[in-house]
Structure 1
Amino acid sequence: MALKETFYISHGSPTLSIDESLPARHFLKAFREKTFSQIPSSILVISGHWETAEPTVNVVSGVNDTIHDFYGFPKQMYKLKYPAPGAPKLAKRVKEVLMASGFKKVNEDKTRGLDHGAWVPLMLMYPEADIPVCQLSVQTERDGTYHYNLGKALAPLKEEGVLIVGSGSATHNLRSLRNSNDDSVASWALEFDTWLKESLLNGRYEDVNHYEEKAPHAKIAHPWPDHFYPLHVAMGAADENAKAELIHHSWTSTISYASYKFTTAA
């Protein structure tokens, strides 16, 4: 079963895992019913919470561990588990297609499970935890074009029924969040988020690849690019003529939960 869609999910705060007041939580819980009804053979998640110098896949032959990589949150969140099976065959294919596309070094990690950028949205999208999951890291010392090309290299996996999901946050400045005295959306966050939406919906993917020069308040919206590069991967894994669709939009202070679907043309 070939898939035409890739996704970028803004996972926002880890409290997405328990907070029923967050609209993004309800969007993800209705994902299979309203957004994507096909059942993938496996899922590849590119999470902003795994940074490495070279592309790295987790090769898990049993059940993925649930990594609670957050601090100072309610105790119940640390008891949550998402025991999705690993996807060693997919990990091998990821390595193959990347190296075939010119990525000279692709590493394997046989001990790492799923960080919250992967398991928090997946536990809402696929609560049965019965679909094999593999993670791929981001390289924060590289740029948007590099990650777009990373996505292009992964595109053949869609023909094998692999669902490719980039997980990050459309805006991600945690310092501004901590310093905020209210829940109003800062002008810089709104302007960046609006620029991103207009760029994607109008197919200006090259502008998004060069967002540092093209976007308003880029460095404020993303002081570090870890949560933005998963978007470039999802975008590249569609194709340059793919149609982008805004599938969810909500805010928590300066954090945008804007999420997008990219549908491959033809």
Structure 2
Amino acid sequence: MDTFFISHGSPRLLINDKPARYFLESWKEKPFHVAPKAILVISAHWETTEPAVSMIKGTNDTIYDFTNFPKHLYEVVPLLILLFYLVFFNFHKLKYPAPGAPELARKVKKLLQKAGFNGAEEDESRGLDHGAWVPLMLMYPEANFPVCQLSVQSHKDGTHHYNIGKALAPLREEGVLIIGSGSATHNLRLLDREDVPTPDWALEFDSWLTQSLLLGRHEDVNKYEEKGPNAKIAHPEPEHFFPLHVALGAAGEEAKAELIHQSWGSSSLSYSSYRFMTGA
């Protein structure tokens, strides 16, 4: 089974008239018409010291997470705006009650430990954050597939996350859909109006990423801070990029990449999304 990286955007994607929204809504008809047995989401919005997997035995809670963004967001976005978002979009009314996937979570932990990630942990209380429920609400609105999440480690690097993905590769053969959920570019300080042209730094990094993936330059992607143009501007914090490395690693060294969607939001936020075709 193929693996995927999705640029998920904010909860506003659920109501905004955007190409990225329509792309996700068409998921089952176009990019991926196979019904998975379960879904593993590597979310940018769950950061831990060691890899952690959600172990929910009943129904996943929906987390309205505006407390786990990079620290600089709170320096530039007034609390009043965050409260406005919460009220205006009635996030507390949105639910994505997908069943948990405890059996899958146990397999994830076992595979990680087998690969040397001995600190891998289970979390029996964490629900789905918006890195998972926003895209899944558009992709699988029925919420009828078991879902669990895997965290990222922002103090590590791309190679660390690529190796996590490699450890999880056997799950593909069991019908598990592995989705990395983040953003191809993610600099919240430099977001602008929708009608402002996309800046060169974002275009250059996004183009480099696509070409590197299509040409199979996995090592360059793993070392994106050295190889990618404007990498530190495109990702001043790494948590929204590392889910891509996990999905890429899970597809295997011979995986072929396909750009399945590309559009822009807020001038510089790339919604580029990729399929990593494994041939299995």
1:257 to partner: Cα distance: 0.1
Equivalences for residues 165-244 of structure 1 within 5 A: 165-177=179-191, 182-244=195-257
User: Aligned partner of 2:7: which letter?
Assistant: S
**1:28 pairs with 2:24:** yes
Partner of residue 147, structure 1: 161
User: In 1, Cα distance between the equivalents of 2:194 and 2:23?
Assistant: 27
Q: Could you tell me whether the CA contact under 8 Å between 2:10 and 2:134 is conserved in 1?
A: no
1:35 to partner: Cα distance: 0.8
1:14 to partner: Cα distance: 1.9
Partner of residue 17, structure 1: 14
3-state SS of the aligned residue for 1:226? coil
User: In 2, Cα distance between the equivalents of 1:108 and 1:214?
Assistant: 34
Partner of residue 77, structure 2: none
3-state SS of the aligned residue for 1:35? coil
1:147 to partner: Cα distance: 0.3
User: In 2, Cα distance between the equivalents of 1:75 and 1:211?
Assistant: 35
Q: How many equivalent residue pairs?
A: 261
User: In 2, Cα distance between the equivalents of 1:102 and 1:214?
Assistant: 27
User: In 2, Cα distance between the equivalents of 1:188 and 1:11?
Assistant: 20
User: In 1, Cα distance between the equivalents of 2:215 and 2:153?
Assistant: 27
1:75 to partner: Cα distance: 3.0
| RMSD value, Cα | 1.2
Partner of residue 272, structure 2: 258
Q: Could you tell me whether the CA contact under 8 Å between 1:188 and 1:216 is conserved in 2?
A: yes
3-state SS of the aligned residue for 2:30? helix
3-state SS of the aligned residue for 2:61? coil
**1:137 pairs with 2:133:** no
User: In 2, Cα distance between the equivalents of 1:209 and 1:194?
Assistant: 16
User: In 1, Cα distance between the equivalents of 2:194 and 2:271?
Assistant: 20
Partner of residue 89, structure 1: 103
Q: Could you tell me whether the CA contact under 8 Å between 1:207 and 1:214 is conserved in 2?
A: yes
User: In 2, Cα distance between the equivalents of 1:261 and 1:11?
Assistant: 14
Partner of residue 58, structure 1: 54
1:76 to partner: Cα distance: 2.7
Q: Could you tell me whether the CA contact under 8 Å between 1:200 and 1:208 is conserved in 2?
A: yes
**1:164 pairs with 2:160:** no
Provide Cα deviations, 1:54-97, integer angstroms capped at 9, x if missing partner. Answer: 00011101100001113341233331110000000000000011
Q: 2:125 aligns with which of 111, 125, 139?
A: 111
User: In 2, Cα distance between the equivalents of 1:16 and 1:68?
Assistant: 15
User: In 1, Cα distance between the equivalents of 2:187 and 2:235?
Assistant: 6
TM normalised by structure 2 equals 0.91
User: In 2, Cα distance between the equivalents of 1:262 and 1:79?
Assistant: 34
Q: Could you tell me whether the CA contact under 8 Å between 1:18 and 1:77 is conserved in 2?
A: no
- In structure 2, stretches of 5+ residues that fail to align are 67-81
Q: Name the % identity.
A: 66
1:18 to partner: Cα distance: 1.8
Q: Could you tell me whether the CA contact under 8 Å between 1:54 and 1:105 is conserved in 2?
A: yes
3-state SS of the aligned residue for 1:34? coil
User: Aligned partner of 1:77: which letter?
Assistant: F
